[in-house]
Structure 1
């Protein structure tokens, strides 16, 4: 395991730091290794090229293998991610790749999606379970998302 993976593993084990972060693309492999070492649930979605929220929510459902009852809307996403009985783990890491087009085309939908993710993070934090959301996006234009600093 790389030194970065080890640093990330220590950080990911702390529920109080869980939140929504920008992840430099170069740290993607280390993040996955740290997640696996902790036996956390790894959730990954690729929203490449999607400019509107409806197809993005549908893609999230498919990529995350959400239950059949998932309704491809914000409420259903929150419901599925706060009841992970179908993916039981001591913690969770969600990597959302390729959301650049959604962020650029519909900032309101992107902000609402992040409000849903923030509610999910808070839900799990109250239960003492780390739930992390990482965006693998270009760093420009993401001043509202902190970059994870494992160093």
Structure 2
């Protein structure tokens, strides 16, 4: 997918969701997000499998405020209120989640349910919130394309 097409997809809040990282790769997503004025965060879950460590890594990687409570409810609260991080939208890139997905599939599923709920709230406001994983997994879609 060309950089221009990637930008067109990322600016469309109607298509937001939880996806595989597109074949164009991490650098292309970062570049497209920057061109659109979207905040772009990268969170590594390498060597992280316990839920408390996953939530802490997300808090650090997403630069959450100090009041972040390190639980799924607090994660959703922070994901739906980025007033402390103003931008035209947001892209979250999660890397190295394969161990979490393989060893704690229920936690991986709950995490994606929280992401999906936050995405829906952003979408209702016409703002894009994208979540990309650098892994291929059942339940994760391929990024939509434009003609």
Superposition TM-score tier, normalisation by shorter sequence: over 0.9
- Counterparts in 2 of 1:129 and 1:24: CA distance versus 1, 3 Å: closer
Check the 8 A contact 1:4/1:150 in 2, yes or no. Answer: no
User: Of residues 94, 105, 125 in structure 1, which corresponds to 2:103?
Assistant: 105
Written as runs of structure 1 = structure 2, the 5 A alignment for 1:1-150 is: 4-24=2-22, 27-137=25-135, 139=136, 142-150=137-145
Instruction: Please state how far the C-alpha of 1:26 moved relative to its aligned partner.
Output: 5.0
Question: How high is the TM-score relative to the length of structure 1?
Answer: 0.91
* Aligned-residue RMSD, C-alpha: 1.4
Measure, in 2, the Cα distance between the counterparts of 1:48 and 1:16: 31
Superposed CA offset, 1:128-151 (max 9, x none) = 1011110112x2xx1210121446
Measure, in 1, the Cα distance between the counterparts of 2:143 and 2:85: 25
Measure, in 2, the Cα distance between the counterparts of 1:33 and 1:85: 23
Q: Which runs of structure 1 show a deviation greater than 6 angstroms over 4 or more consecutive aligned residues?
A: none
Describe the SS at the equivalent of 1:144: coil
Measure, in 2, the Cα distance between the counterparts of 1:127 and 1:10: 18
Check the 8 A contact 2:9/2:144 in 1, yes or no. Answer: no
Instruction: Please state how far the C-alpha of 1:24 moved relative to its aligned partner.
Output: 4.4
Instruction: Please state how far the C-alpha of 1:86 moved relative to its aligned partner.
Output: 0.9
Check the 8 A contact 2:15/2:144 in 1, yes or no. Answer: no
